[in-house]
Structure 1
Amino acid sequence: MSEGNARDSRAGKDTVRRHNLSLVLRTVHDAGEATRAGVAARVGLTRAAVSSLADQLLRDGFLTESGKAFSGQAGRPGTVLKVARTGPAGLGVEINVDYVSVCVVDLAGTGRVRLTEYVDNSAPAPGDVLARAARIAARAVASAQEQDLRPVGAALALPGLVSGGVVRQAPNLGWHRVDAEGLFAAALTDVRPDLRTLPVGSDNEANLAALAELWFGGMGGVRSFLYVSGEIGVGGALVVDGALLPGAHGFAGEIGHVVVDPAGPECRCGARGCLEQYAGQLALLRAAGIEEAAGPAAPGASVSGAGASGATAAGAVGAGPVGTGELERRVRAGDARAVAAVGEAGRVLGLVLSGAVNLFDPEAVVLGGVYRGLLPWLAPPADGELGGRAVSGMWAAGGDRLRAASPSADAARGAAGRVARDVLADPLAYGTAKRS
């Protein structure tokens, strides 16, 4: 065998082993727990091959083993393999108009750290906002390390058009061509020099929230759905057969800027009559009469916890958790103006959603952000529009196709989950040799 052929042979064997390590790790992850024999039966490899692969994953800290599992067949019981709750982890950082939320998940996808600060991010310079996010992220990493977790990558969830690490346009933040990944990485290095090599990625916040819903939200087998997030802006993402549909340039899903009325109010994007001018948080608060007392959430107001989400902070009534909490309180109390505001937002939302349903035919439409808590009042008028406009005739009012997002799934967790999924896809890249 020539030197070139020998080198190709070694490369082929290395590639196959790399693939099989991922296959075994993902199989245990998806099953929750499994024996070596169980994994071998699922993936079609020999028991000896699976044992060798599992031993490497155990040595590198991706798997743990404990107990005995009895299969009911002859032979010795096998030890149970589980994805490790220590070691490699994902760091997710969501930056929105009125808050920063940071999440750390382990390889099983469990939220282990959550830090959230409510603050107006539209006023400071982008670098200052990203520096604040880096400081919060550094605290989250320290908390994770106390639990023997090792974040191996960070992913930013950002509102607006995101491509190649750059926020091309985020109208509600006032950002244009901001190198978010570069600025965040530099700021994180300033706070934690030991994290200077931590890879940083980014994506649109609705995309990552949709992935969180797919991975952690309990979709009950639904793998094609439209996700719509009601924040200061209105974002959207489409998942088709379990995969995100990014569009030609990664900008698919900007449903908040679908025009409802060309002569409507001016939007920050420069157009008129965009959906978010009728159904975004600020529009809802204004229509409900809450804007009169509005102001940003108390600067620096924060919450923390292992897996907390949707927490509230003290501060002035307005956009953010306080304003939306007051809106929910008024709607639940039957306040006529608040109920009418949410109902009209639901009608306009249903009008726009009907076009998306006719275009993409999703199994479900999932409403997140402020829409989640308001769904009982949003759904009837939205269903009315959808039922009358969905050409398939398959949209039934009061059915389960229009549903609330899970409280355990948001953009920060989706961002952290994407990093964890990268580890599952190629554990060899994050193993002991990689750290040495």
Structure 2
Amino acid sequence: MANTAPAPALPDAGSPGNMGDVRRSNLALVMGRIAQAPSGSHLTRAQIAASTGLTKASVSSIVLDLLETGILREIGLNPQGERGRPGVGLELNPARGVMGMEINVDYIAAGVTDLSGAVVVQEIRERDNRGSESAPVLAALAALAVEVRTAALGKGVEVLGGGLAVPGLVDAGSATVLAAPNLGWLDVELDLDRLLPGLPLGITLFNEANAAALAELARGPAGRHDFLYVSGEVGVGGGLVIRSELFTGPEGHAGEVGHVVVDPAGSRCSCGGTGCLETVAGQDAIFAAAGIAGKGKSRLESMSALVAALAEDQPGALRAVERAGTSLGVAVASTARVLNIGAVVLGGHFAVLERWLRPSLAESLARYAPGKVFPEHITIAAVEEGGALLGAAGSVVRSLVEAPHRLQH
């Protein structure tokens, strides 16, 4: 959560009709100052007042409210930068956290982070969700969420809310999966309350690739502000980060790089289109082209078999991955041309296969978008497995920082 960029000071008071709005704005301002403080530093009330322009009395009142919600705690004395008696430092309470969850084609996952983003507990379970109704999938995820929540409580962390990532187009406001072709879900409204009933912040729905892109933004190299995150699973997803913000377009569905057409004469895609990147570079497509029968094997077993075949220089495996890399380059080149993006982050199986994928990907980018994406700007995701659930959890924390009044009764 560390970020030293200054935030504008808000007025200490307003017209009587706006006092509630001013109070909420000031709560968020103080909360943001504490959340953005560099790791290891603990701002005092006086330091917050000096940096925000609020009065010390207002800051003290706001901090008291935040302490009562349990999302802040006092820690030691901070003598830095103050005259006279040192003040008491403040930090996000490590005994409060959020849960990230993910439903994908062949697994479910859940994990808890504290409010600073540190992972407390994380579990990934293989499960074949393809073609399954949403109810049994949610039931399985709810059971896993209870286990993970219990484990977090055992480590002293109480869960305040959560985020759920799914591989498809979503409407977060109505908790509806608009289209998740690889799951076979179309306009499926999810009963998110059944996952973890009674959480004060509830559960928010996210697109899987967007959530993973947010995790990369938060946990990846500092100073990287613009990139395309490419998520490689059974399907292929994409998340666009522009000027350190997730770009989702007017309806929230931008970044669907998996459904960029790379071969107009190609195979039919699960989305209903033809020749999409997913039909060449998705896991099932690569396994089939490499001659690795996925049926009867788990995702990990199939991927292990593919990596072993590549390590042995088996021609079929090498051709399958080379073709996937070339097609990925075509899709990324088109995206880079339209959005002026110069960096690509590889996640999921693209990260696993990077050693063999990179040459054809780089060659394809040089051919179709020369000078747009250089090889040194093609990197592997900082977060390996669990990026989507960590991104979903991190988004819930951000929403809490921006609106801490949600925890007030």
> How does the TM-score come out when normalised to structure 1?
0.83
**Partners in 1 of 2:361 and 2:199 — Cα distance?**
47
SS in 2 for 1:195: coil
**Partners in 1 of 2:204 and 2:78 — Cα distance?**
40
Question: Deviation of residue 20 (structure 1)?
Answer: 1.7
Which amino acid in structure 1 is aligned with residue 204 of structure 2? G
Query: Quick one: structure 1 residues 394 and 247, their matched pair in 2 at CA, closer, same or farther if it must change by over 3 Å?
Result: closer
**Partners in 1 of 2:74 and 2:313 — Cα distance?**
54
Question: Deviation of residue 154 (structure 1)?
Answer: 2.6
Given that 1:105 and 1:420 are in contact with CA atoms closer than 8 Å, whether structure 2 keeps it comes out as no
Q: Does 1:380 align with 2:389?
A: no
Aligned counterpart, 1:361: 340
Which amino acid in structure 1 is aligned with residue 124 of structure 2? T
**Partners in 2 of 1:394 and 1:175 — Cα distance?**
36
Question: Deviation of residue 228 (structure 1)?
Answer: 0.8
Aligned counterpart, 1:17: 23
**Partners in 2 of 1:199 and 1:108 — Cα distance?**
19
Where relative contact order (Cα < 8 A, 6+ residues apart) is larger, the structure is 1
Which amino acid in structure 1 is aligned with residue 152 of structure 2? A
Aligned counterpart, 1:342: 321
Query: Quick one: structure 1 residues 62 and 263, their matched pair in 2 at CA, closer, same or farther if it must change by over 3 Å?
Result: same
- Counterpart pick for 2:49 among 14, 17, 40: 40
Given that 1:92 and 1:412 are in contact with CA atoms closer than 8 Å, whether structure 2 keeps it comes out as yes
Question: Deviation of residue 332 (structure 1)?
Answer: 3.7
- Counterpart pick for 2:179 among 140, 152, 169: 169
Q: Does 1:212 align with 2:215?
A: yes
**Partners in 2 of 1:146 and 1:16 — Cα distance?**
38
Q: Does 1:406 align with 2:408?
A: no
Aligned counterpart, 2:36: 30
- Counterpart pick for 1:396 among 374, 380, 386: 374
Question: Deviation of residue 336 (structure 1)?
Answer: 3.7
Given that 2:161 and 2:200 are in contact with CA atoms closer than 8 Å, whether structure 1 keeps it comes out as no
Aligned counterpart, 1:152: 160
Which amino acid in structure 2 is aligned with residue 29 of structure 1? A
Question: Deviation of residue 10 (structure 1)?
Answer: 4.4
Range with greater deviation from structure 2 (195-204 or 55-64): 195-204
Residue-by-residue CA offset, 1:80-113 (whole Å, 9 max, x unaligned): 22211013x2222210000001122221112212
Given that 1:24 and 1:53 are in contact with CA atoms closer than 8 Å, whether structure 2 keeps it comes out as yes
Aligned counterpart, 1:301: none
- Counterpart pick for 1:269 among 253, 271, 286: 271
Unaligned runs of 5+ in 2: 1-13
Q: Does 1:68 align with 2:74?
A: no
Range with greater deviation from structure 2 (11-20 or 91-100): 11-20
Query: Quick one: structure 1 residues 364 and 423, their matched pair in 2 at CA, closer, same or farther if it must change by over 3 Å?
Result: same
Given that 1:90 and 1:418 are in contact with CA atoms closer than 8 Å, whether structure 2 keeps it comes out as no
Q: Does 1:99 align with 2:107?
A: yes
Query: Quick one: structure 1 residues 59 and 199, their matched pair in 2 at CA, closer, same or farther if it must change by over 3 Å?
Result: closer
Aligned counterpart, 2:59: 50
Residue-by-residue CA offset, 1:266-314 (whole Å, 9 max, x unaligned): 21222221111111111111222222xx235xxxxxxxxxxxxxxxxxx
Query: Quick one: structure 1 residues 198 and 72, their matched pair in 2 at CA, closer, same or farther if it must change by over 3 Å?
Result: closer
SS in 2 for 1:201: strand
Residue-by-residue CA offset, 1:136-172 (whole Å, 9 max, x unaligned): 1222222233334332323221112212321122111
Which amino acid in structure 2 is aligned with residue 179 of structure 1? E
**Partners in 1 of 2:24 and 2:201 — Cα distance?**
22
Question: Deviation of residue 202 (structure 1)?
Answer: 0.9
Unaligned runs of 5+ in 1: 1-7, 297-315
Query: Quick one: structure 1 residues 242 and 11, their matched pair in 2 at CA, closer, same or farther if it must change by over 3 Å?
Result: farther
Instruction: Give the alignment's Cα RMSD to 1 decimal.
Output: 2.3
Q: Which runs of 4+ in 1 moved over 6 A?
A: none
**Partners in 2 of 1:22 and 1:225 — Cα distance?**
28
Given that 1:342 and 1:377 are in contact with CA atoms closer than 8 Å, whether structure 2 keeps it comes out as yes
Query: Quick one: structure 1 residues 134 and 248, their matched pair in 2 at CA, closer, same or farther if it must change by over 3 Å?
Result: same
Q: Residues 158-307 of structure 1 correspond to what in structure 2 (within 5 A)?
A: 158-163=166-171, 164-180=174-190, 182=191, 184-185=192-193, 187-188=194-195, 195=198, 199-215=202-218, 217-291=219-293, 294-295=294-295
SS in 1 for 2:111: strand
Question: Deviation of residue 364 (structure 1)?
Answer: 1.6
- Counterpart pick for 1:80 among 89, 100, 118: 89
SS in 2 for 1:406: coil
Percent pairwise identity = 39
**Partners in 2 of 1:225 and 1:46 — Cα distance?**
40
**Partners in 2 of 1:355 and 1:235 — Cα distance?**
15
Range with greater deviation from structure 2 (78-87 or 65-74): 65-74
Aligned residues: 390
Question: Deviation of residue 66 (structure 1)?
Answer: 2.2
Aligned counterpart, 1:304: none
